Every structure is written in structure tokens, then in C-alpha cells.
Structure 1
Amino acid sequence: MLQSRLVVFALRVVLVVAALWLLVLLTFALPGELSDGTPEPGVRLPTQIVLSLVLLSVLAVIVCIWRLLTLIGRDRLFSDASRRWVDAIVWSLAIGWALLAGFALAVTAVIFFTPEIRDPGIPMLLFGVVVLSSLPLLLMIVMRGLLRQATGYRAELEEVI
């Protein structure tokens, strides 16, 4: 029991640090990077909006994980409340992934149709980011199914007892 409490505490610390880091990115780093004039003015605002929404979806995932940790502490992990939080994680990851994939597709299209900047490096990098960012989403979908199955088993076990 002590080991699981330490793990939950360590996870909460990491969640706080990650949330603070994302908030710094949202408020200082992202606007600063996009305001230096590198992207054209017509591209700057949509880029900032899409990237900010992706970061906000990650923050939503952090909040949902925090709530799940609270349910673990109350021994209510196998309940409808936990399934709602896991569903929220899946939806947040799906929205963030869709925005990121759409953004990567748009950037790749601009690079492909502009002969002066046609270079396969950035599209390949974006492809890798989109593929790797789909992994947490797919993993959470599998975990959601496992939670649903475990919740059913627990309900059956409680009926037997």
C-alpha cells in the first residue's frame, strides 16, 4: 500500500510540473516564438490557435488523470465515474491528435506546393510526430476497454460475495 501511495504522489508531482510547463508554453513561449516574424502574418494566428488548442487538450488530459488518481485513493476506480474520466481523456487526445494531424497536413501541403521550400525533412518530421502522438490515444482506447471489462468482473464478483 505504501508503494502505491508513493507512486501516486510521484505521479501527482509530475502532473503538476507538466501542467506548469504547458502553461508557460501557452503564455510565453508559443506567442514569443510566433511573434518574431518567422511565419507570415496570415499564418501566425492560425498556427498559434491550433498549437494552443493542442496544448489545452493535453492540459485537459492532465486534469482527467488527476481525477482518476483521486478515485484510486477512494477505491472507486472501477465505477462509472472513472469511465467518464477515461472517456474524457480519449476525447481530449482525439481532438488534440486531429488538430495536430490537420496542422501537419496543411504545413506539408504548403511545403509541397511551394517550390522554393520543397524539402522532405519537415514533412517527414511532422509525419513521425503525428504517428507517435496517435500512440497515447490508441493506448487509452485499449485501456478504456480493459476498464470496462474489469468493472463488469468486479460487479459480478460483488454479486457473488
Structure 2
Amino acid sequence: MTRFVTPLLRGIIVILGLAALALGAGLPLVARDIAEAAPEFETIRLPYVAAAEAALACVLIALLALWILLGRVRRDRIFSPASLRWVDAIISAATAATAMTGLVFAHQMLAPVPGIGPAAWPLLLLVLAGIGFVLTMLVMRRLLVTAVGLRTDLDGVI
């Protein structure tokens, strides 16, 4: 099964990574066009683009860590302490991206920009999804810690 699933997942990671890079490259251009068409957005253009670029960088970091973890699965080395740092990288990147999204949402709620209105509410869904993902990854990390301990004990017996 790993022979089929690993290349498939790596293909998906490549597609997502390329999409994130393309989005990161195009975002400043789109933001500039929006600010030219609606000058009231000029004041938030740079901070929001910076937050989005930082969140996209976090996505790329998480994808890289996932790529490395898939390689560890393929080589049957996933249940080792070295895998934990890559899971930690995913958790840290997801936490940072969620924080960026939360900051943008909080700004839109506390200092509303004319014309945005209810468009801020989908950001709340992203924040909640990010929190759910981070919490799920923390549970998965704990399971990996337990599995690493059991694997170490089993290797000691054998």
C-alpha cells in the first residue's frame, strides 16, 4: 500500500506547494489592483499581504515537513524520536498560520475597514479550522511519542 500511497501523497504535496508559491507570487499584484480600484483598502494592503505571505510560508514549511515524514514512513523510520521534530514543525507552522489569520480577523472586527463587512467572518472559520488542526496534530504527536516508546521497548526485547 505504501508504494501507491506515498507517491500519490507526494504528488499532492507538489501540487499544493506549487499552488502556494503561485498564490504568494500573485497576491501582491492582486492586492495592488484592488487598492487601485478601491482606495479605502490601500492602508491595509501591505499588512494583509504580509500576513498572507507569512501564512503561505507556514504552509510550505508544513508541506516540507510532511514530505520528510513520508520518506521516513517509506524507509520504516517513522517510529523514531527524529520524526518528532518534523511533527513539531507542522504544529508550529500551523499555529503560526492560525495566529496570522486570527490577527487579520481581529483587526477586521476591532478596526473595521469600510467595504469589508461580513467578508471577515469566513476568516473565523479558518481560525477555528486551524485550531482544530493544531489540536488534532498535538494528539497525533502524543500517539507518536507513545509508539516510539513502544518501538524502543520492543527493539530492546528483540
Partner of 1:45: 46
Counterparts in 2 of 1:1-161, with a 5 A limit?
A: 3-28=1-26, 30-36=27-33, 37=35, 38=38, 40-111=41-112, 119=117, 121-161=118-158
Unaligned runs of 5+ residues in structure 1 are: none
Displacement, 1:54? 0.4
Taking structure 1 as the reference length, the TM-score comes to 0.89
Displacement, 1:55? 0.7
| Structure 1 letter corresponding to 2:2 | S
> Does the C-alpha gap of structure 1 residues 86 and 118 become closer, same or farther in structure 2, counting only changes over 3 Å?
closer
Taking structure 2 as the reference length, the TM-score comes to 0.90
- 1:47-90 alpha-carbon deviations (Å, 9 max, x no partner): 11001000110010000000001111211101121111001111
Secondary structure of the 2:48 match is helix
Q: Aligned partners of 1:92 and 1:83: how far apart in 2?
A: 14
Unaligned runs of 5+ residues in structure 2 are: none
* Number of positions where the alignment pairs a residue of Structure 1 with one of Structure 2: 154
Displacement, 1:40? 2.8
| Structure 2 letter corresponding to 1:11 | L
- 1:21-43 alpha-carbon deviations (Å, 9 max, x no partner): 00000002x11220011453221
Q: Aligned partners of 1:95 and 1:148: how far apart in 2?
A: 23
Q: Aligned partners of 1:145 and 1:133: how far apart in 2?
A: 18
Which stretches of structure 1, 4 residues or longer, exceed 3 Å deviation after superposition? 116-119
Q: Aligned partners of 2:95 and 2:3: how far apart in 1?
A: 30
| Structure 2 letter corresponding to 1:82 | S
